[in-house]
Amino acid sequence: MDALRPQQILKILELTDSFNLHRETIVIPLSTEDKGGVTILADRRVRIVVPKNKPFDEWLIELKAELAKMSPPTMHE
């Protein structure tokens, strides 16, 4: 997969919503990258990159675990 589909972006946002992350703090590049990952940017936004070579639904489970490990100061109400 080289580019995200709208329904995939919505699934990511639904997941970040469940962690009370404000949608304005989420950055999701439309293109995928080899490794993918979650990064907290200097301005405290959360950058979520979908990996290119992993099934999306499998990766979404990993994303949930990664978000669960994030420290509370990155979460917004």
Instruction: Render pLDDT for 1-44 as a digit per residue (tens, 0 to 9).
Output: 789 999 999 999 999 999 999 999 999 999 999 989 999 999 99
**In a domain? residue 47:** yes
pTM of the model: 0.87
User: Per the structure, how many domains does the chain have?
Assistant: 1
pLDDT for res 24: 96
Higher pLDDT: 75 or 72? It is 72
pLDDT for res 72: 58
Whether residue 73 has pLDDT greater than 60:
no
Q: Which domain holds residue 33?
A: 6-70
**Is the distance from CB of 50 to CB of 4 less than 8 angstroms?**
yes
pLDDT for res 2: 85
**In a domain? residue 59:** yes
**Exposure pattern of 48-77 as b/e (b: 16+ CB <10 Å)?**
bbbbeebebeebbeebeeebeeeeeeeeee
